[in-house]
């Protein structure tokens, strides 16, 4: 799946990205040369659960090694501990691989907090909606901006 019209909701700045959803963990091969004309976001989604921290970090490392400029994880928490698992994986990845920015989030109402505090743990981007949510747990743009401005992390 390709999406070349991704934008940064925080600053509304158009950016050129190619988004891939990896159907295998880790990705089966490196990305084709033609992807190199844009930054590559490789996504791994788990719509049913949150894997253990070690697996989450392993997925991000595999995407990085396959050539992703921005590995992205989206997982479904079943408990508050699952949200913490994702945030811990984010922190570990960014501490051990600071050269590669990552995007991480827990989905659904339970995971919404990860979309607001992810930057504190190393997530380089969040997604917000200016009206209707396009993903489970996605938070309104006005709320995201207010929280990020309050935290003053960037």
Decide: 71 and 97 in contact? Cβ < 8 Å.
no
Q: Which positions are annotated as active-site residues?
A: 45, 72
SS (H, E, C) the chain: CCCCCCEECCCCEECCEEEEECCCCCCCCCCCHHHHHCEEEEEEEECCCCCCHHHHHHHHHHHHHCCCCEEEEEECCCCHHHHHHHHHHHHHHHHHCCCCCEEEEECHHHHHHHHHHHHHHCECCCCEECCCCCCCCCEEHHHHHHHHHHHCCC
């Amino acid at each position: 799946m390709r999406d070349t019209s991704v934008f940064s909701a925080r600053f509304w700045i158009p950016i050129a990205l190619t988004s891939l959803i990896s159907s295998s963990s880790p990705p089966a091969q490196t990305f084709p040369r033609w992807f190199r004309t844009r930054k590559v976001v490789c996504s791994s989604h788990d719509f049913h659960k949150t894997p253990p921290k070690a697996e989450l970090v392993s997925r991000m490392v595999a995407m990085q090694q396959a050539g992703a400029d921005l590995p992205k994880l989206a997982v479904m928490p079943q408990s508050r501990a699952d949200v913490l698992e994702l945030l811990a994986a984010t922190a570990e990845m960014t501490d051990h691989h600071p050269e590669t920015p990552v995007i991480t989030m827990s989905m659904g109402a339970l995971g919404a907090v990860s979309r607001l505090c992810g930057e504190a743990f190393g997530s380089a981007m969040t997604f917000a909606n200016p009206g209707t949510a396009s993903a489970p747990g996605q938070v309104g743009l006005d709320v995201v901006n207010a929280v990020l401005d309050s935290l003053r992390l960037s």
